[in-house]
Amino acid sequence: MTESCPTCQTDILVSGAQGPYYRWQCHGCGKQFGAIDTEPIAYDAVDEWYVSSSPDGVRLHADRSCLATSVDAEIRPLAPAVAREHRHSRCLTCGHEVVEG
């Protein structure tokens, strides 16, 4: 993905920008930017969690139609208490929320 680096002021390839809360790293100067502080959504904050598997592993999603789920992935619903017991990581796109500063 091409993004303007705030440090070296050029449009260069940056990495790590695959989700809304990821940090970006400039391939020109190496600086990281764009971090947004987030924390996982509480298990009880949603009525149902959704589990999907991908080559990256198993994740809990708060939104069944999250763009981070694979199109052909099997998605299973879980109650909040069951999701807590499984202790899978939560999706960085729909399973986290921005921390107010």
pTM equals: 0.63
> What residues does each domain of the chain span?
2-36, 39-98
Residue carrying the six token digits 């991908």: 54
Q: Compute the Cα dihedral for 8, 13, 16, 21 and give only its sign.
A: positive
Cα-to-chain-centroid distance, residue 56: 12
pLDDT in tens, 8-38: 776 665 555 455 556 677 777 877 776 666 7
**Res 101: pLDDT:** 55
The span from the CA of 59 to the CA of 52, in Å, is 6
CA-nearest of 52, 54, 50, 34 to 98 is 34
Percentage of the chain lying above the pLDDT 70 cut: 74
**Res 30: pLDDT:** 76
CA-nearest of 23, 27, 25 to 12 is 27
Q: Please give the DSSP secondary-structure letter assigned to residue 20.
A: T
